[in-house]
Amino acid sequence: MGEIKIQAVCGFGCGSSLFLRIKIDNVLSAHGLKARTFCGDVGTCCSADCDVIFISAELGERIKDRAKVPIVIINNFMDDKEVSEKVLAYFDTLK
């Protein structure tokens, strides 16, 4: 398996998704995991090349039928524990 590409998504792909991306990066480095993370907006995220999409609950609702990759719903972008658990759970599914 090549490099894993994680897309963090919000409405504009500039603000809250960037913050989520930073949090995901923190989890990755804390657990010695390797992946490339980048941000996307809800309008174009389904056409961007990635292996998994991290997104908020209400926006996830809108792309769940179109996305070709697994979607991970983050209810609270501010919650370190939730982000950490869900990132690790995603990596468990790859094993």
Residues near other proteins (CB under 8 A) are 10-16, 18-19, 21-22, 25, 38-44, 56-58, 61-62, 75-78
* Comparison of 58 and 85: residue with beta carbon closer to other proteins: 58
What's the DSSP call for residue 47? G
CB of 58 to other proteins, least distance (A): 6
DSSP label at 51? S
Choice between 4 and 18, CB closer to other proteins: 18
CB of 27 to other proteins, least distance (A): 14
